[in-house]
């Protein structure tokens, strides 16, 4: 008998992925964690029934959320990742040899240990990199209390449900701003605008109260259905998202990293927004 994983994140759209092999189904301290294999998507991780990542297309999400702010900044040395328990974001960030320190704050230790064991093709040894400092804690509490400053802050959160809900609020973003070094950049996960317009518009409304420059950029990730996915962008330096493609090419070549989705041309194009999203964010 065929088994399917059905996601009911959206009221008017349910999606299903065929479970070819169920590998794990258990509750951690914070959420239900399920891992299964799909002949199309590889290993698929869901938390409380919502798909978080798949082996086949995680590179799109992680490359665009990591390399866009790092290469736009150009001099980043210290990076803060909120969430990202699967290790994929840290793996992409740590590809940059110029990055000296990465602090990753993940609320659920169970997700990290699980990813080490079951998702090695995503984390790829990132948790063993000496530059990575793993903190098991509430991300909102961390940014409210830390004295550290970071060039890049990446909010690799789940959707604003349960433990991640606070990570989409203005007080949280204000504390993130406090953690940014001068000229720093924040990048956020903001869902699929066509289906989750409030998630993006509320984040951008908060950003525009806190930063001189705030917008979003886009990438198409097959797993996250309903149109392109949005990544929030905020900085006090508006020039960072307007870099010429030639300068991005120079920085990309100097970084010496290999990518499957990100290119300097894709980087530039990702900030070109269709009118329905421009209208959404005002």
Half-sphere CA count of 164, side-chain side, radius 13 A: 23
Which CA distances in Å does 38 have to 35, 43, 49?
10, 6, 15
Distance CA 24, CA 110 (A): 13
Q: What's the pLDDT at 48? A: 87
Q: What's the pLDDT at 138? A: 92
Q: What's the pLDDT at 28? A: 77
Please state the pTM of the whole predicted model.
0.93
Domain limits, CATH 2.30.140.10, in the chain = 3-54
Q: What's the pLDDT at 163? A: 54
Residue from 57, 86, 151, 156 carrying the catalytic annotation: 156
Q: What's the pLDDT at 144? A: 94
Reduce the secondary structure of 81-135 to three states and give it as a string: EEECCCCHHHHHHCCCCCCCEEEEEECCHHHHHHHHHHCHHHHCCHHHCCCEEEE
CATH (one of 3.40.50.880, 3.90.550.10, 3.40.47.10, 3.40.50.150) for 58-281: 3.40.50.150
Q: What's the pLDDT at 166? A: 60
Q: What's the pLDDT at 235? A: 98
| Residue among 252, 280, 269 at smallest CA distance from 195 | 280
| 191 C-beta neighbours (distance < 10 Å), count | 24
Distance CA 2, CA 241 (A): 47
Indicate the CATH number for domain 3-54.
2.30.140.10
**Active site includes 156?**
yes
pLDDT tens for the chain, residues 1 to 282 = 789 998 888 888 899 999 999 998 888 777 888 999 999 999 999 988 889 899 999 999 999 999 999 999 999 999 999 999 999 999 999 999 999 999 999 998 988 998 999 999 999 999 999 999 999 999 999 999 999 999 999 999 866 555 555 667 888 999 999 999 999 999 999 999 999 999 999 999 999 999 999 999 999 999 998 999 999 999 999 999 999 999 999 999 999 999 999 999 999 999 999 999 999 998
Domain limits, CATH 3.40.50.150, in the chain = 58-281
Q: Can you spell out the DSSP letters for 188-213?
A: EE---TTT-HHHHHHHHHHHHHH-SE
């Amino acid at each position: 008998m065929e088994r399917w994983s059905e996601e009911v994140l959206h009221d008017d759209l349910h999606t299903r992925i065929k479970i070819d092999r169920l590998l794990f189904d258990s509750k951690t301290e914070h959420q239900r964690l399920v891992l299964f294999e799909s002949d199309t998507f590889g290993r698929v991780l869901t938390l409380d029934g919502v798909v978080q990542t798949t082996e086949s297309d995680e590179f799109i999400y992680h490359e665009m959320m990591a390399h866009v702010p790092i290469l736009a900044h150009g001099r980043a040395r210290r990076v803060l990742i909120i969430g990202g328990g699967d290790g994929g974001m840290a793996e992409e960030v740590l590809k940059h040899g110029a990055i000296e320190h990465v602090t990753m704050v993940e609320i659920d230790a169970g997700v990290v240990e699980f990813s080490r064991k079951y998702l090695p093709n995503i984390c790829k040894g990132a948790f063993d990199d000496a530059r990575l400092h793993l903190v098991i804690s509430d991300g909102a509490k961390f940014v409210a209390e830390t004295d550290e400053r970071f060039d890049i802050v990446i909010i690799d959160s789940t959707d604003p449900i349960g433990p991640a809900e606070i990570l989409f609020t203005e007080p949280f973003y204000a504390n993130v701003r406090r953690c940014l070094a001068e000229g720093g950049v924040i990048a956020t996960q903001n869902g699929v605008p066509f289906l989750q317009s409030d998630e993006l518009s509320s984040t951008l409304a908060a950003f525009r109260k806190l930063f001189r420059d705030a917008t979003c950029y886009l990438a198409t990730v097959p797993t996250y259905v309903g149109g392109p996915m949005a990544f929030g962008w905020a900085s006090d330096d508006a020039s960072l998202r307007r870099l010429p493609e030639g300068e991005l090419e120079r920085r990309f070549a100097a970084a010496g990293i290999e990518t499957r989705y990100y290119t300097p041309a894709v980087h530039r194009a990702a900030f070109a927004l269709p009118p329905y999203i421009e209208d959404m964010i005002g």
